[in-house]
Amino acid sequence: MNGFLKTLQWSWTRAPQRESWGLDRNWHRSEAARHLKSGNFADAERHLSLAAREADDTGIAAVQRVELRLELAGLQRQLGAPSGVVEGTAQLDVAKLREAESTLREAVIVCTQASDSTLYLRSLDALAEIFCLLEDYPALEEIARDAIRLGASVNSQDPQSMDIRLQRLAMAQDKNGRFPDAMKTFDQAIALREKRYGPGHLETGNLLAEVGRICRVRGVHVQAQAYLKRALQIHEAQCGTDSIEALADVQQLAGSLEDTGDLDGAAAQYERALGLKLRKLGCENIDEVAEMQYSLACLHVGWGHYSRARELLSECIGAFKRSGGPRLAVAYESLAHVEEREGRMSFALGEMEKASKIWEKCVPPRLEELARNLELRADLSDHLRLRVEANLLRKQARHVAAAAEDQAVT
């Protein structure tokens, strides 16, 4: 598929007006409007399709014929991807979206007979939206590039439309395996945001954060961290240091630092994120804070920062005690792991015993987890040369494991 602006020659001669006929006289269009109002979309589509054909046969002006097709394609797009449907899901009606694509291609052809570049751009933008839904990235890249080229020559075009086109082009270039080109396009979009809103505006920060996230996913961490740091400065200034936006930036930045092996830098950012979370949520959402403390503790364990991991686990255990259950048992076992790694076997055994009691109290009892816990307690007892206790724990573990198998069968 070659570019529309290369293959289609513009014809700026307006078709002769038929004063005796127009869209307001098109019965099928009126019927389509009536069915749309009543929610009968299938009949509305049928009448709009007939209206478009009738408009062709009666020689209505090209501008009006394009308008009809844009209206028809919009309805077909709605039928193919109802509101709330995510791109790429099984809920998409691909056949209906392809019909919308065909309708819009007809609109583009009719546009060569009209002297309205705005309609041509609307047709290209609508096509780009269809290709986004279909995840047809080669076609999306071509259409988006044509729309950008034409949009730049139309003085009346609003910056928001150009912003959307640039982001679509960047996404398509990325999906088509040309990430360096995508980054150049993203930089153009960022420059447009800065020109439109200002370098410190929230909208600019939002785009910087999105580009930073994409760079992190692609493993381009130097650029990812640069974008995320800029986004963080803007979000802190515009939304507050404890805002959701700032917290998300900090978490992404910490993840990028961790990915590159900068564990100290990552730890500092994660601790910052936890601090922001504590400031924002306080005591009203203690469980959410505790979950974050547990996640951060696990990271510190992986990095070998056992002292800080112990502090965080102790704090989240205090919160988990309010509701008990599996989270509390897992936290106790994680703390036992920390104690074991530091050679404090008796302390590790004590934490495992606490976890064992929690697994027993679960409703229904978590027998598989309890059996595994008993085996670990037996190993710790061996390290402490408590042979009798170790043998007894392994015997209990076998009985619990058998009960777990029976439970699974029933």
pLDDT number for residue 156: 62
Q: How many whole angstroms separate alpha carbon 197 and alpha carbon 227?
A: 17
Q: How many whole angstroms separate alpha carbon 201 and alpha carbon 37?
A: 40
Cβ(294)–Cβ(312) below 8 Å? yes
pLDDT number for residue 17: 42
pLDDT number for residue 188: 95
Cβ(359)–Cβ(365) below 8 Å? yes
pLDDT number for residue 3: 52
Single out the residue of 50, 49, 32 nearest to residue 41, CA to CA: 32
Tokens read off for 270: 């994660």
Cβ(328)–Cβ(320) below 8 Å? yes
Q: How many whole angstroms separate alpha carbon 142 and alpha carbon 140?
A: 5
Single out the residue of 88, 110, 179 nearest to residue 141, CA to CA: 179
Q: How many whole angstroms separate alpha carbon 58 and alpha carbon 48?
A: 15
Cβ(335)–Cβ(314) below 8 Å? yes
Tokens read off for 131: 């290709």
Cβ(384)–Cβ(376) below 8 Å? no
Q: Is the pTM of this model over 0.75?
A: no
Q: How many whole angstroms separate alpha carbon 258 and alpha carbon 330?
A: 24
Domains of the chain: 1-84+91-157 (1.25.40.10), 158-261 (1.25.40.10), 324-410 (1.25.40)
Tokens read off for 122: 């609307």
pLDDT per residue of the chain (410 residues) written in tens, 0 to 9? 455 444 344 333 333 343 334 444 567 788 888 888 888 888 888 888 888 888 888 878 888 888 999 999 999 998 888 764 444 445 788 999 999 999 999 998 888 777 778 889 999 999 999 999 999 999 999 999 999 998 888 766 678 889 999 999 999 999 999 999 999 999 999 999 999 999 999 999 999 999 999 999 999 999 999 999 999 999 999 998 878 898 889 889 988 998 898 888 888 888 887 777 777 665 556 787 888 888 889 888 988 889 999 999 999 999 899 888 999 999 999 999 999 999 999 999 999 999 999 999 988 889 999 999 999 999 999 999 999 999 999 999 999 999 888 777 76
End-to-end Cα distance, the chain: 60
Instruction: Give residue for tokens 């085996």.
Output: 375
